Amino acid sequence: MNRQRGMSSLALVLLLLLLGSLMLHGLNLQLSSHIWRVNNENQGIRNAAEITSAMEWARHQTWPAQPPLQCQQSTGQNVRSCLRVFTDGAALLIVANAETSLWHLGRVEGTQVHFLPHGWSDFCPLKEEALCRLP
């Protein structure tokens, strides 16, 4: 009979260890999910900052009124900027990387392109979507 007294205590300890390990596993899965979401959000914020910075860089470049389609690439970034000049004197600056695009409307004044103060957009401002894509 003395041998059977320790079995219930041992079973209780094993049960507690099993429950504890299941709880730790669940917490680990939850933590991994949170880390993944934070990393995704961090990458999105970096991408938005990169594309916004590239838009400001491209906006302050000197863009001539001709040719109707011209492109530049900012140094050290994987962002490309292209300007489309239309026959009615309107202009569209397109800045894009692999994930995001931004657009800014402008007008041709003389031989230079000037961008509208509130002309930026994070969606294609033209009816014809093909004109909003980089060549």
pLDDT per residue rounded down to tens, the chain (135 residues): 455 567 888 888 999 999 999 999 999 999 999 999 999 999 999 988 899 999 999 898 888 888 889 998 876 678 899 999 998 989 999 999 888 899 999 999 888 898 988 888 888 888 888 888 888
Q: What is the pTM of this model?
A: 0.72
d(CA 63, CA 111): 9
User: Dihedral, CA atoms, 122, 68, 128, 124, nearest 10 degrees?
Assistant: 0
**pLDDT on residue 3:** 55
Here the contacts of 61-64 (C-beta below 8 Å, separation 24 or greater) are: 62/112, 63/91, 63/93, 63/112, 63/113, 64/111, 64/112, 64/113
